[in-house]
C-alpha cells in the first residue's frame, strides 16, 4: 500500500512501530468525536458516551476471550505494562531480557527504589523489590528450565512478565507453558501481548495468564489507547489515581474516541488473522530474495516460531541507520534493529540477548508488514535494497581502490 508522507509516495513497512489506522476505525473515531458526553455523567449525553465505551470494552474482551469486566482501558501498552508491574504488589519481579523497555525500565526502576514505594501509597507496606532477568537462547526464547530456577520452590511473592511476541524479531514465546509453571508455584503472570493481535490467534484462558497488555495502534487503532486484561479476582493497585473510573483501576476521564476506535480495530482483528498466512508467505519471499542478493544475510530468530509479519535481519557491512535512511530516500519506510539514545546508536538489547555479535547487530534492520501490505511492497523493498546495496558496495570498492 502506498501511504502518502510529505507528498512523496512511500511504502510503509514499519507496522511493529505503528500500523496505519484502518478506514473503518477512522470513521468510528470521527463519529465518536461528535459525542459530547463524559461517560461518568448521568444525563443522556453521558449515557451515550458510556454505551460507546462499554461496546468497545465488549469488542476488546471478545478478541482475547475475556469478559468485559476484566478489561481496564489505559493510555496505551506502556501504561498497561507499568501498571501491571507496579500494581500487582509482588516484590520479586521475574522478566525476560528481551522485554520491551516499558517492562524493563519499569522493573529496574522499582528494583532500584530501595524503599520499595513506587508511588502506590496504599500498597502492601513497601519492602524491597528484587529483579530477576531471564536469559534467552540464540533464537530469543525463554526456556522452562530457566524460569523453573528463577521461581524456586515457592513463588507466591513473584510476578512473572513474559511477552507473547517480540517487537523486534517477532519471535513467539511459549507463554502457556511458562505461565502454567509459574502459576503452579504461586506466581502471578503478566504477558505483554502488544504485538500479537491480528497476527496470531490467542486467548487469555489458553495462555493462562493473570494480566495481559494490549495497544490499539499496533493493529489499526489509534495511538495512546490500550488495555490491561485483569483476570477476575486479581488485585491491582492503580498507577494513575484520581476519580473512580475503570472500577478504580485507572483514573481519568476515558479516551472515548480512542477507545471506540480500539473496539472497532479489535472487532476487525479476525480479518487480519485470515490474511496472516499470506503475510507469512510475503515475509518468507522477502527474506529469500534478500538472501539471493547476499547469502550472508542473517535472519534473527529465523529458526523459531515468529509473527507472520516480522523480519529482523542483518545486511552485512552497512550500518542500520544508513540502511534506514537510504531506503527512506528510495521511498521505503522500515526501522533499524537498534535503539537510538542520546544521539548515539546502541545495539538492540534484544539482539544482544540472542548473543549476536556487534558486527551483526549494528547492521540489523526490521521490516514489518501489516493489514495493507501486498506483493508490490515486497517488490519495491527488494529492488530498493538491491540498488542501495549495489551503491554501497561500489562506494566501498571505489574507496578501497582509491586508498
Ligand atoms: N510492548 C511492546 C512489545 C511494544 O512493541 C510496544 C510498542 O512499541 C509497547 C509495549 C508500548 O506500547 P505503546 O506504544 O502503546 O505505549
Give tens-digit pLDDT for 230-264: 999 999 999 999 999 999 999 999 999 999 999 99
Residue ID of nearest Cα to ligand 1 atom 10: 77
Distance CA 25, CA 281 (A): 27
Q: What is the pLDDT of residue 47?
A: 98
Q: Is 77 in the pocket of ligand 1 (CB under 6 A)?
A: yes
pLDDT band for 339, please (50, 70, 90 cuts).
low
Please give the sequence-ordered ranges of beta strands (E in DSSP) within 99-202, or none if there are none: 130-134, 158-161, 188-192
Out of 191, 312, 340, 363, the active site residue is: 340
Q: From the CB of residue 172, how many other CB atoms can be counted at a distance below 10 Å?
A: 22
Nearest Cα to Cα of residue 328 among 47, 10, 4, 6: 10
C-alpha cell at 208: 493462562
Q: What is the pLDDT of residue 10?
A: 87
Q: What is the pLDDT of residue 113?
A: 74
Q: What is the pLDDT of residue 396?
A: 58
Distance CA 151, CA 147 (A): 6
Q: From the CB of residue 376, how many other CB atoms can be counted at a distance below 10 Å?
A: 11
Nearest atom in ligand 1 to the alpha carbon of residue 17 is: 8
Q: Is 104 in the pocket of ligand 1 (CB under 6 A)?
A: no
Cα of 222 to ligand 1 centre, how many Å? Answer: 13
Cα of 78 to ligand 1 centre, how many Å? Answer: 6
Cα of 241 to ligand 1 centre, how many Å? Answer: 22
Q: What is the DSSP letter of 132?
A: E
Q: State the average pLDDT for the chain.
A: 91
Q: Is 91 in the pocket of ligand 1 (CB under 6 A)?
A: no
Least confident of 5-19, 105-119, 196-210, 300-314: 105-119
Q: Is 384 in the pocket of ligand 1 (CB under 6 A)?
A: no
Q: Is the pTM of this model over 0.85?
A: yes
Q: Is 246 in the pocket of ligand 1 (CB under 6 A)?
A: no
Give tens-digit pLDDT for 104-147: 999 999 999 755 444 433 344 445 899 999 999 999 999 999 99
At residue 217, φ and ψ (nearest 5 deg) are -75, -5
Please give the sequence-ordered ranges of beta strands (E in DSSP) within 231-294, or none if there are none: none
Q: What is the mean pLDDT of residues 82-97?
A: 97
Rg of the chain (C-alpha set): 22
Distance CA 246, CA 230 (A): 11
Q: What is the pLDDT of residue 399?
A: 46
Q: Is 190 in the pocket of ligand 1 (CB under 6 A)?
A: no
Distances (CA, A) of 23 to 220, 226, 269: 9, 19, 13
Contact 140, 171 (CB under 8 A): yes
Please give the sequence-ordered ranges of beta strands (E in DSSP) within 158-293, or none if there are none: 158-161, 188-192, 211-215, 226-230
Cα of 219 to ligand 1 centre, how many Å? Answer: 12
| Residues 390, 396, 400, 403, Cα dihedral to 10° | 130
C-alpha cell at 200: 496470531
Q: What is the DSSP letter of 116?
A: -
Distance CA 77, CA 224 (A): 8
C-alpha cell at 323: 540502511
Q: What percent of the chain has a predicted confidence (pLDDT) above 70?
A: 90
Q: Is 25 in the pocket of ligand 1 (CB under 6 A)?
A: no
User: Is 8's pLDDT higher than 60?
Assistant: no
C-alpha cell at 1: 500500500
Q: What is the mean pLDDT of residues 314-321?
A: 89
Distances (CA, A) of 136 to 98, 143, 181, 301, 338: 8, 7, 17, 11, 18
Residue ID of nearest Cα to ligand 1 atom 12: 77
At residue 377, φ and ψ (nearest 5 deg) are -65, -45
Distance CA 104, CA 81 (A): 10
Give tens-digit pLDDT for 16-37: 999 999 999 999 999 999 999 9
Distance CA 159, CA 186 (A): 9
Cα of 388 to ligand 1 centre, how many Å? Answer: 30
CA quadruple 298, 139, 321, 362: dihedral sign: negative
Give tens-digit pLDDT for 379-390: 999 999 999 888
Nearest atom in ligand 1 to the alpha carbon of residue 217 is: 15
User: Is 101's pLDDT higher than 80?
Assistant: yes
Residue 340 is among the residues annotated as catalytic for this protein: yes
Q: What is the mean pLDDT of residues 77-88?
A: 98
Amino acid at each position: 500500500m502506498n501511504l502518502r508522507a510529505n507528498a512523496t509516495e512511500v511504502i510503509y513497512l514499519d507496522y511493529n512501530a505503528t500500523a496505519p489506522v484502518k478506514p473503518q476505525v477512522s470513521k468510528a473515531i470521527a463519529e465518536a468525536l461528535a459525542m459530547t458526553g463524559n461517560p461518568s455523567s448521568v444525563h443522556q449525553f453521558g449515557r451515550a458516551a458510556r454505551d460507546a465505551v462499554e461496546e468497545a470494552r465488549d469488542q476488546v474482551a471478545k478478541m482475547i476471550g475475556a469478559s468485559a469486566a476484566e478489561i481496564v482501558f489505559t493510555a496505551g501498552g506502556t501504561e498497561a505494562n507499568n501498571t501491571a508491574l507496579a500494581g500487582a504488589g509482588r516484590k520479586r519481579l521475574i522478566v525476560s531480557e528481551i522485554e520491551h523497555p516499558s517492562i524493563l525500565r519499569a522493573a529496574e526502576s522499582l528494583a532500584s527504589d530501595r524503599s520499595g514505594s513506587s508511588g502506590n501509597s496504599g500498597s502492601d507496606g513497601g519492602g524491597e523489590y528484587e529483579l530477576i532477568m531471564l536469559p534467552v537462547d540464540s533464537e530469543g526464547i525463554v526456556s522452562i528450565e530457566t524460569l523453573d530456577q528463577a521461581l524456586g520452590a515457592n513463588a507466591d511473592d513473584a510476578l512473572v512478565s513474559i511477552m507473547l511476541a517480540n517487537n523486534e524479531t517477532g519471535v513467539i514465546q511459549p507463554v502457556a507453558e511458562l505461565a502454567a509453571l509459574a502459576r503452579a508455584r504461586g506466581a502471578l503472570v503478566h504477558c505483554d501481548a502488544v504485538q500479537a493481535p491480528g497476527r496470531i490467534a490467542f486467548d487469555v484462558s489458553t495462555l493462562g495468564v493473570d494480566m495481559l497488555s494490549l495497544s490499539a495502534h499496533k493493529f489499526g487503532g489509534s495511538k495512546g489507547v490500550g488495555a490491561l486484561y485483569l483476570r477476575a479476582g486479581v488485585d491491582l493497585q492503580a498507577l494513575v489515581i484520581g476519580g473512580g473510573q475503570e472500577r478504580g483501576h485507572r483514573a481519568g476521564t476515558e479516551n472515548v474516541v480512542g477507545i471506540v476506535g480500539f473496539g472497532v480495530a479489535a472487532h476487525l482483528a479476525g480479518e487480519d488473522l485470515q490474511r496472516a498466512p499470506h503475510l507469512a508467505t510475503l515475509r518468507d519471499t522477502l527474506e529469500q530474495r534478500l538472501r539471493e542478493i547476499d547469502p550472508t544475510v542473517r535472519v534473527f530468530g529465523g529458526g523459531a516460531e515468529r509473527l507472520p509479519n516480522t523480519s529482523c535481519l542483518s545486511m552485512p557491512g552497512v550500518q542500520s541507520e544508513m540502511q534506514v535512511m537510504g531506503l527512506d530516500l528510495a521511498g521505503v519506510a522500515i526501522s533499524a534493529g537498534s535503539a537510538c539514545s542520546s544521539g548515539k546508536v546502541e545495539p538492540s538489547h534484544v539482539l544482544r540477548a540472542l548473543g549476536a555479535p556487534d558486527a551483526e547487530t549494528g547492521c540489523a534492520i526490521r521490516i514489518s508488514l501489516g493489514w495493507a501490505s501486498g506483493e508490490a511492497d515486497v517488490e519495491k523493498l527488494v529492488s530498493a535494497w538491491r540498488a542501495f546495496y549495489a551503491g554501497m558496495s561500489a562506494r566501498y570498492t571505489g574507496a578501497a581502490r582509491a586508498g
